[in-house]
A = this chain, B = another copy of it.
Amino acid sequence: MNATLDGDVVRARGDARQRFHDARGYGRADGPDVTLARVEAAHLLYRGDLDSVSGMDFRAFFRDSVASEPSFAARFLVYADLRERGFYLAPVRDGWPGSASGPGGDAGNDGGADADILVFERGEKPGGPVAHRVRVVGEREELTTADLVGRTLAVVDEESEVSYFGCEAGGGFDGRTEYDLPADVEADLLDDRVVCWSPPAALYESAFYGQPVSGRDDADVDALQLSLLEAADLATRGAVDIDADAVIERGHEVEGERFDRRLSVYRELRDRGVVPKTGYKFGADFRTYDAVESVAELPHSECLVRVVTPDHRFHPRELALDVRLAGGVRKRMVFALAGDDSNDYLTVERLTP
């Protein structure tokens, strides 16, 4: 069967509407005919269901489409991959299923703005409930938070493989850690850490602040080392007898404004009953525990948290690294967007549609 390029769409007549639209969910019904987006027509050529579009075979039509539409190659690869996985899909486009003026376009969906492809729930026809609002990106593109929230990111790497990330607002924290803090424990600010001398055991064992100078039997010293973040938090709460401003100033000396952002997130998590500890060994800012009863029976930490600015540009390659590492150690990857007045959280996970 042959179809015709008409501006930026492809029109097919005859039994095309029945074969492609009604039976297999391609395109937009147009009276007795069907109108296809370029990506749909390319897929039909690729499968051999269409023979040509205005005389062009797959190779010619693909070249023409790459020259006509930005990121066509990447969108085609994702479209083909998702079709292969057995979903009905539609390009996000006025009049197409699920988009504005299209069938199902008012079904409580947000129309998929900023998305490229709508994937309908398994077994649902185009225009039905949406499973994924897919945004297609090359691995070299930078993304803002707004690009990610509520979207399924389809990253096409330089060798044309596609991987998917689900991005949801919120960190999914469920803080349930309870403890009482001591008052005015003696402490020294030493270099870029703080040492508490003879602290009450519960400060470490229940509240999980700090790290004993040693857990060794042969030590003659009873002391707890605190990170600058822990010390600043405890000083503000009156638990250690040290000037909070001096600790924060030291934090600025060694980390600059990053220290403020991290402290803001640290405090908020503590306020919510979540225990943040350093995530250094995972290359993150924090690992977090929702519910610590005692350090002796420490649960698995649930999240890795990376603190960024609200205008942070995410690189797909860095996302892949963070999310893969978190998955490998069975933790959620959460980005904390530390703003001047409040913090937002974004959870990113690998998924297989």
Contacts and interface: CB of A to CB of B under 8 A. Distances in A.
Interface of A: 45-48, 58-59, 62-63, 66, 71-74, 80, 84, 138-140, 155, 157-161, 163, 188, 190-193, 195, 197, 210-211, 213-214, 216, 218-221, 223, 225, 227-230, 254-255, 277-278, 280-284, 316-318, 320-322, 324-325, 328-329
Given A282-B320, A324-B281, A48 B191 contact: no
A211 B161 contact: yes
A120 to B, nearest CB: 20
A153 to B, nearest CB: 13
Q: State how many copies of this chain the complex holds.
A: 2
Contact of A59 (B45, B160, B188, B210): B188
B221 A46 contact: yes
Nearest to A198: B59
Nearest to A209: B159
A277 B216 CA distance: 47
28 contacts: A46-B214, A46-B219, A46-B221, A47-B218, A47-B220, A62-B195, A63-B190, A72-B191, A73-B193, A74-B191, A84-B216, A138-B254, A140-B192, A157-B278, A158-B278, A159-B211, A159-B227, A159-B277, A160-B193, A160-B225, A161-B211, A161-B281, A281-B324, A282-B324, A283-B321, A284-B321, A321-B322, A328-B329
A212 B10 CA distance: 26
Contact of A221 (B58, B71, B328): B58
Nearest to A212: B160
Contacts of A322: 283, 321
